Amino acid sequence: MKAEIITPSLTIFNDDGSIDYGGNRKLIRHLIDNKVDGIVPLGSTGEFTSLSFKQKKDFIDFYLSEIDGSVKVLPGTGCINYQETIELSNFALAKGAEGVLIIGQYYYAMTQADIFHYYDYLAKQIEGNIYLYNFPARTGTDITPETVLRLLQNNKNIIGMKESVSTFTHTKDIMQLIKTEFPQFKMYSGFDNQFLDNIDYGGQGSIGGLSNILPGLWSKWANAKEDDLYNEVISIKEKILSLMKLYQIEYNCSGLFKELLKARGLDINTTTLFPFEDVKKESITEGLELISQVMDE
């Protein structure tokens, strides 16, 4: 199975905070023209927590219409209200999404029994493919391999997962536990620098935010891995490892990534929603210098 790069896309806004559909169209074309395999609108880098339910629906409708099957679309549909998660998920699937990516509850602490109950209930109400989204740094809870296995055994429509975890060991443990019973399960790493580990252990690739800025580098990496071009794979790996520093320049990377995209030639509005609307000029300079240094090596 070919290695994949799926982009958790930024959301482009007008100055007043409304969605800039023209700007998002430019970003979509930027990603597709640079050969990404799929896009996740309303993911973590898409500022989904700041959008109303209606805005999310309208945005998903726009995305699916604009992309029209040219690449896979996995909208983030996790809401703090589980009924909205169900409604938004079924809406996206009815409109043609390949699946929906659902983050766990991100306020109340949850036991593994709670996590199982939550996803098991959602899966039985959602009419289509579900991808679990494990991001313990944001939700405060971690989905264990045993809970993943139990969910798969009880719900055929849970077909994949995104793992945003600090060490790949957790992802590897899940894959090793489920691979015999569920060999077709699709595992994606949320951190860009875990792409090669993911592929080597039988995963599909990465849903990595850096591909917003450099999707061409990412698609080149996936193709090099597919074609067993070892030197090129390692060369790009070193670039990605260096570029991971971009996540550390600003606590919320969305605004910085928009500024970097614009500075590199994509004509978009760089508005980021409150309370992260101010990106320091020195952060933009540092980010551009890092990209220039890495890409010129």
| 244 vs 226: CA distance, rounded Å | 23
| 26 vs 291: CA distance, rounded Å | 21
Active site (catalytic) residues: 133, 162
Q: pLDDT at position 107, please?
A: 87
- Rg (C-alpha) for the chain, rounded Å, is 18
Q: Which residues are annotated as a binding site for pyruvate?
A: 45, 207
> Could you say which architecture CATH assigns to the domain 4-231?
Alpha-Beta Barrel (3.20)
Q: Which residues are annotated as a binding site?
A: 45, 207
Task: Going residue by residue through the chain, which has 297 residues, state the pLDDT in tens, using 9 for 90 and above.
Answer: 789 999 999 999 999 999 999 999 999 999 999 999 999 999 999 999 999 999 999 999 999 999 999 999 999 999 999 999 999 999 999 999 999 999 999 888 899 999 999 999 999 999 999 999 999 999 999 999 999 999 999 999 999 999 999 999 999 999 999 999 999 999 999 999 999 999 999 999 999 999 999 999 999 999 999 999 999 999 999 999 999 999 999 989 999 999 999 999 999 999 999 999 999 999 999 999 999 999 975
Residue 150's SS3 state is helix
| 263 vs 65: CA distance, rounded Å | 28
Integer angstrom CA distances of residue 175 from 100, 135, 142, 160, 188? 20, 17, 15, 11, 11
- Give pTM, 2 decimals: 0.96
